[in-house]
Chains A and B, each alone.
Chain A
Amino acid sequence: DAKTTQPPSMDCAEGRAANLPCNHSTISGNEYVYWYRQIHSQGPQYIIHGLKNNETNEMASLIITEDRKSSTLILPHATLRDTAVYYCIDRPGNQFYFGTGTSLTVIP
């Protein structure tokens, strides 16, 4: 059911920007893209969402391509506490469909 595609794993050096891509080529015009992350043994945590404009908050930036078929989550200065599984989600209706996400490891 998940209609998003993400690389299974990525590494990032501490202090550098982490860029996590997501393909959501089947997204429809009124569906938001959401990003959540899940630190080991905890519930998922909301990061950011967007429809078609780029978005920024205190946690991250979200860059959505003009055709809306893909997006990139940017953690500008990754820390060790950002090590987690990151999920890109689309939301048809009122249900969230998670895929398997990207396991990000921040390396000291």
Chain B
Amino acid sequence: DTGVSQDPRHKITKRGQNVTFRCDPISEHNRLYWYRQTLGQGPEFLTYFQNEAQLEKSRLLSDRFSAERPKGSFSTLEIQRTEQGDSAMYLCASSPRTGSYNEQFFGPGTRLTVL
């Protein structure tokens, strides 16, 4: 257990529904990252925050994906109008500092299945 928690751990939804995932980072970490991982592939970077500021979001997969970190603590990732291709593991990570060294601590992930 790295101290990063994600909720829910599993989500099954029907195509077209909206889903929201939550990530709680290690409390003193100011950076938070979201990744997506499909079967047989490594994690794919989506976006990251430094405190409440979203510093990189160009790699979000489409405008159906959005993320927030309103108070610089927990974060949510929302997928609107889900598609079957959105089925994947969604991983959150946090890191404690800026600069050249950046160890990321990953949560257990939320597995999304879109029917």
Contact = CB atoms under 8 A, between A and B. Distances in A.
A and B: partners?
yes
Interface of A: 1-2, 30, 32, 34, 42-46, 49, 85, 87, 91, 94-101
Contacts of A30: 100
Contacts of B59: 95
Nearest to B45: A95
Nearest to B95: A94
Interface in B20-40: 31, 33, 35, 40
Interface of B is mostly: loop
Q: Which 5 A-B pairs rank lowest in CB-CB distance, beginning with the nearest?
A: A98-B42, A43-B106, A95-B45, A98-B43, A44-B106
B40 A94 contact: no
Contacts of B98: 94
B91 interface: yes
A46 B103 contact: yes
Contacts of A32: 100-102
